[in-house]
Amino acid sequence: MTKRVAFIVVLLGLLVSAAVAVSAENGAENMLLNGGRRGKISFPHRTHQDVLKDCNRCHDLFPQEPGVIDKLKKTGGLKKKQVMNTRCVKCHKAIKKSGGAAGPTTCSKCHIRE
């Protein structure tokens, strides 16, 4: 009987570990991004994942790692506003034009002034 219980405990542990690993691959549900002088940006990451289904729609421009956008800006790998102008606003406007429910298309709707 104890072998059976031990097996079940190990199996449950593996299942929980697998679930956590899958969740970790999805990244954060929400992120607070550095928005420069205009203020921080509260970014609903999981919502974007659910809608876009393809991480490369954004992450072909920058890798999936914390703080990478700021790092790339400092080293010249990204220009200021490059992500916002070539990804965020462009995509939101295209969705809006096609009649879909789109995210904000103006700076003040995303940036949080403190």
Write down the CATH number for the domain with range 28-112. 3.90.10.10
Digit-coded pLDDT (tens) for 57-75: 999 999 999 999 999 999 9
Tens of pLDDT along 75-105?
A: 999 998 999 988 999 999 999 999 999 999 9
Q: Is the pTM of this model over 0.95?
A: no
Nearest to 48 by CA among 27, 21, 23: 27
Residue type, 49: Q
48/54 Cα distance (integer angstroms): 9
Which residue ranges make up each domain of the chain? 28-112
